[in-house]
Amino acid sequence: MHTPPADAARDFGLGRGRVYPADRAGGLLNPLRRLLHPPARLVRRLDPAPSDVLLEVGPGPGWFSRALAARVPDGSLHLLDLQEQMVTMALSRASSDVVVGTAGDAAALPFADGSFDAVAATAVLGEIPDPRAALGEFARVLRPGGRLLTLETRTDPDFIAHRRLVTMAAPVGLHPHSRHGRLLGYTAVLRRGAR
């Protein structure tokens, strides 16, 4: 596992702009979350092919990771989180040969251009000090036509409105493909255009 870059020092906690701390990871695995964020529904919205190569950025303890891994039996799922403890928990929860994990920063992804068919980032963007830079990185590591899925919940102090997401994503070549949900939050899929 890689070590996060030295400049990845952050403020950890539950408030706005703070990184959700690994010692509160249990809160992200509350079974009641099935009502709001059923993993199977998120995976349906991303709709990966069995051989797709996926990146999940900020998986936390892996609420969605197991379902994502199950959909790419002939591909792979890469997990990248700022906190090594989160990567360890997500790897253990996914418990699959197709999953690998790395500690690192979304704003400086340690992957080559065009490496992934899809990137998922759920409840993460608002915790990143420069979400535009992270979106640029997501676009860079996606192949042309690749998809970015984001999930935002209104009660999250780091909620990013859909309009703001689309405005930030357009300059890096990520364009709206589909959107689900409105009242409590939303899932958005954006597609990377050809450069």
Ligand X SMILES: C[S@@+](CC[C@H](N)C(=O)[O-])C[C@H]1O[C@@H](n2cnc3c(N)ncnc32)[C@H](O)[C@@H]1O
Least CB distance to ligand X at residue 64 (A): 6
Residue 152, beta-bridge partner list: 186
* Residue in 60, 75, 131, 136 binding ligand X, rule: CB under 6 A: 60
| 107 is an interface residue for ligand X by CB under 6 A | yes
| 59 is an interface residue for ligand X by CB under 6 A | yes
Residue 18 and residue 5: Cα distance in Å, rounded? 18
| 123 is an interface residue for ligand X by CB under 6 A | yes
What mask, x for binding ligand X by CB under 6 A, covers residues 19 to 58? xx-------x----------------------------xx
Q: What is the enclosing helix (H) or strand (E) of 180?
A: strand 174-180
Residue from 45, 97, 88, 92 nearest 70 by CA? 97
Residue from 163, 154, 161 nearest 183 by CA? 154
Residue 9 and residue 181: Cα distance in Å, rounded? 34
15 vs 195, which CB is nearer to ligand X?
15
Q: Applying CB under 6 A, which residues contact ligand X?
A: 19-20, 28, 57-60, 63, 80-83, 86, 105-107, 122-124, 127-128
